């Protein structure tokens, strides 16, 4: 019998079935002892063997060591054979057919279990007739028992199906709850990023802009004064930091992925921002993506950083962004026809060069997602950047 989690009702029904079987078998043994016949010893021996086989099967099923339906059918066949042999020796064994009816339905299903019940009922009626002569009780008793067993067994199966459906519904509700929690977490992260972007824009960026303007005014007011070189250096430093701050604000600002999706946002960037800078970007990303929002956001940031490097350093005319998704993985590639670079030198010099720092930041972002980044490039033959993520292991 298949081992599965049962509700208290099912546990009670199964325990009751075990008690009925053991009690009726003990009754057969007691009858053989109280009213001994020539076959009493054989009846007692067969009854003990029947109890042992039944107990062994029930114990295996309880501990979950059964080997599926085939093992249960073999166990049932042994019980029926022992019961039939015992029935040929004593009419009291006919009572044992009642708990066996439930095993028929449970292990053989509705169709074959019902046929087995009919066959065993006929065998019980015929054997009772041969033992003590034909009577109404000998016919009606097994028939009533079979009918009651069918009704109870079918009701048990209906309850079991309802319990399975309820468990499936609970599992679905738990999964939905987890998805809602993840969505709320993502929404909170996006809202916090937007708040930080606003705060930085209203404080640091505005302050740097004001410092730059003031230094520029001081530089123009008296170009020949002592220390003007320091003023110019301070202005240029403030200007450079203002550019970095504004880039940081753009990266913090949540992308419009909810309405347009990753493909839509990339195509819009390709047609506006990147096209105006002289780069033709082809986007091969489906609009019907089922990726988590944080994964789409990360891929968008990777694409923005990679295309920025292409525009600034690669001297490329075209670039292609491709996203391939299957059941277990994501492959995101960005390919350009630029001048390329020495990846070994870029890795060794990553602390000093801004473009290598961007590549290092991209690698860290991919590692946070549990993926792998591959950069294939060489001087004179363009660059291919590939991000591979396993969907089952994507970190949130």
Residues 159-193 as b/e (b if ≥16 CB within 10 A, e otherwise) read ebeebeeeeeeeeeeeeeeeeeeeeeebeeebeee
pLDDT, residue 114, reads 78
**Between the CA atoms of 33, 38, 40 and 42, what dihedral angle is there, to the nearest 10 degrees?**
160
Name the nearest CA neighbour of 260 among 282, 283, 279, 288: 288
What residues contact residue 394 under an 8 Å CB cut-off, 6+ apart?
A: 292, 295, 369, 370, 371
Tell me what pLDDT residue 318 has: 95
Task: Dig out the tokens for 260 from the structure.
Answer: 């347009």
Q: How far is residue 136's CA from residue 287's CA, in Å, rounded to a whole number?
A: 76
CB 49 within 8 A of CB 82: yes
Q: State pTM to two decimals.
A: 0.42
The whole-angstrom separation of Cα 96 and Cα 22 is 9
Query: 312-369: per-residue pLDDT in tens?
Result: 888 999 999 999 988 888 999 999 999 988 877 665 544 444 445 567 778 888 888 8
Domain residue spans of the chain: 8-134, 259-396
The CATH code belonging to domain 259-396 is: 3.30.565.10
pLDDT value, residue 322 = 95
Tens-place pLDDT, residues 30-42: 888 888 888 888 8
Length of the chain as a residue count? 396
Helix axes 293-309, 257-269, angle to 10 degrees: 20
Low-confidence ranges of the chain (pLDDT < 70): 1-10, 61-69, 132, 137-138, 149, 153, 156, 183, 186-187, 190, 194, 198, 201-202, 249-259, 345-358, 392-396
């Amino acid at each position: 019998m298949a081992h599965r989690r049962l509700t208290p009702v099912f546990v009670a029904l199964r325990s009751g079935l075990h008690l009925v079987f053991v009690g009726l078998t003990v009754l057969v043994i007691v009858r053989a002892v109280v009213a001994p016949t020539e076959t009493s010893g054989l009846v007692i021996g067969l009854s003990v063997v029947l109890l042992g086989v039944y107990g062994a099967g029930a114990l295996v099923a309880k501990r979950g060591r059964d080997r599926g339906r085939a093992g249960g059918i073999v166990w049932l066949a042994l019980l029926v054979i022992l019961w039939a042999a015992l029935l040929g020796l004593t009419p009291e064994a006919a009572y044992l057919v009642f708990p066996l009816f439930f095993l028929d339905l449970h292990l053989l299903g509705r169709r074959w279990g019902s046929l087995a019940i009919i066959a065993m009922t006929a065998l019980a009626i015929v054997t009772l007739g041969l033992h003590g002569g034909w009577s109404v009780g000998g016919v009606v008793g097994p028939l009533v028992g079979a009918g009651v067993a069918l009704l109870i067994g079918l009701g048990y199966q209906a309850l079991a199906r309802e319990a399975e459906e309820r468990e499936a519904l609970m599992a679905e509700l738990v999964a939905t709850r987890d998805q809602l929690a993840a969505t709320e977490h993502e929404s909170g992260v996006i809202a916090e990023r937007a708040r930080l972007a606003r705060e930085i824009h209203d404080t640091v960026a505005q302050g740097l802009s004001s410092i730059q303007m003031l230094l520029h005014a001081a530089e123009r007011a008296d170009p020949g004064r002592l220390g003007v070189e320091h003023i110019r250096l301070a202005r240029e430093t403030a200007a450079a930091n203002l550019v970095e701050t504004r880039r940081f604000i753009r990266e913090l600002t949540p992308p419009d992925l909810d309405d347009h999706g990753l493909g839509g946002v990339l195509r819009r960037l390709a047609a506006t921002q990147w096209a105006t800078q002289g780069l033709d970007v082809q986007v091969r990303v489906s609009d019907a993506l089922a990726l988590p929002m944080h994964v789409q956001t990360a891929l968008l940031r990777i694409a923005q950083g990679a295309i920025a490097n292409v525009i600034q350093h690669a001297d490329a005319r075209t670039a292609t962004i491709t996203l391939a998704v299957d059941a277990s993985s994501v492959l995101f590639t960005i390919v350009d026809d630029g001048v390329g670079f020495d990846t070994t030198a870029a890795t060794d010099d990553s602390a000093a060069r801004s473009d290598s720092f961007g590549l290092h930041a991209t690698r860290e972002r991919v590692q946070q997602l549990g993926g792998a980044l591959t950069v294939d490039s060489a001087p004179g033959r363009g660059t291919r950047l590939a991000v591979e993520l396993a969907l089952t292991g994507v970190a949130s």
